[in-house]
Amino acid sequence: MNLDSPRPRISLATVAIAADLLELQKLCFQEEAEENHEFNIPPLTQTVEELREDFRTHTVLAAWQGQWLLGSVRGRREGPVCHISRLMVHPDHRGKGLGSLLMAAIEDAFRGVNSYELFTGERSLRNLRLYAGLGYVPVRREQVTQRLTLVHLQKRRAGKELVAGLSTPPFD
């Protein structure tokens, strides 16, 4: 399979792909687990029933090349914030921009929010570099287990700070 042609297509996923998505998720997050020396992480322990439930609570996008599922990402709105999770690209198709495309697509699907939030393991240096390049900044750290510390990152939607600033009377 070649990513150059045809171009992968990103679309809204339905619960019908839950089993295939779980298989891809377990393959993709193995590396994240290895890097962080922690295998007891939700992407690896999630059951197909739990993943089906995610389709009720999240917007799930999938990247396809023909019939092949190459990647995915989830988003969920909570007030003015969109929480992004489970960004994944098949190991054979990484480093070609698909992860960034999925991020752009999920941000676009939640255009109405003020900010996007996500997290990754503090040892996932390539993930941190990817998110930094997309404009995400670290806002807090959370120690989850003895081995695993998460870095929470945030990106404000362009113009949101400006709008907030303009709504403040100039004489304040």
Ligand X SMILES: CC(C)(COP(=O)(O)OP(=O)(O)OC[C@H]1O[C@@H](n2cnc3c(N)ncnc32)[C@H](O)[C@@H]1OP(=O)(O)O)[C@@H](O)C(=O)NCCC(=O)NCCS
Chain residues in the site for ligand X (CB under 6 A): 28-29, 31-32, 87-89, 94-100, 120, 124, 126-127, 129-130
Query: Which of residues 21 and 87 has its CB atom nearest to ligand X in the complex?
Result: 87
Between 18 and 71, name the residue whose CB sits nearer to ligand X: 71
Structure tokens at 101: 């495309």
Structure tokens at 25: 């998720």
Shortest distance in whole angstroms from residue 22 CB to ligand X = 14
Q: What's the min distance (Å) between Cβ of 34 and ligand X?
A: 10
Q: How many CB atoms lie within 10 A of CB 111?
A: 8
Task: Output the residue with the shortest Cβ distance to ligand X.
Answer: 99
Q: Which is nearer to ligand X, 9 or 159 (CB)?
A: 9
Task: Give the residue with the Cβ less far from ligand X, 97 or 159.
Answer: 97
